[in-house]
Amino acid sequence: MDIYKEGHKYRIARDFPDVDLKEAPEYCYECLLQRREGLVERFERLQGIEPQESILIP
């Protein structure tokens, strides 16, 4: 998976399996659901935001 930052290819994540183009949206959605807590925590840390109780919908 190519990862872009500020409109330019930033890096390539190689830990994603090959997914058929038709199935890619559903795969990405499920992947984000599974990783959401970690992604929010990382975002908060990078932005200097104090961690708060999770407001994510389970």
The parent domain of residue 40 ranges over 19-50
pTM of the predicted protein model: 0.56
Domain membership flag for residue 25: yes
What is the average pLDDT across 2-6? Answer: 85
Q: How many domains does the chain have?
A: 1
Domain membership flag for residue 8: no
Domain membership flag for residue 58: no
List, for residues 22-48, the tens digit of each pLDDT value. Answer: 998 999 899 899 999 898 888 888 888
4: number of Cβ within 10 Å: 9
Domain membership flag for residue 57: no
Residue whose pair of structure tokens reads 């959605």 in the numeric block: 29
Domain membership flag for residue 4: no
Domain membership flag for residue 5: no
Q: Is 25 helix (H, G, I), strand (E, B) or coil?
A: helix
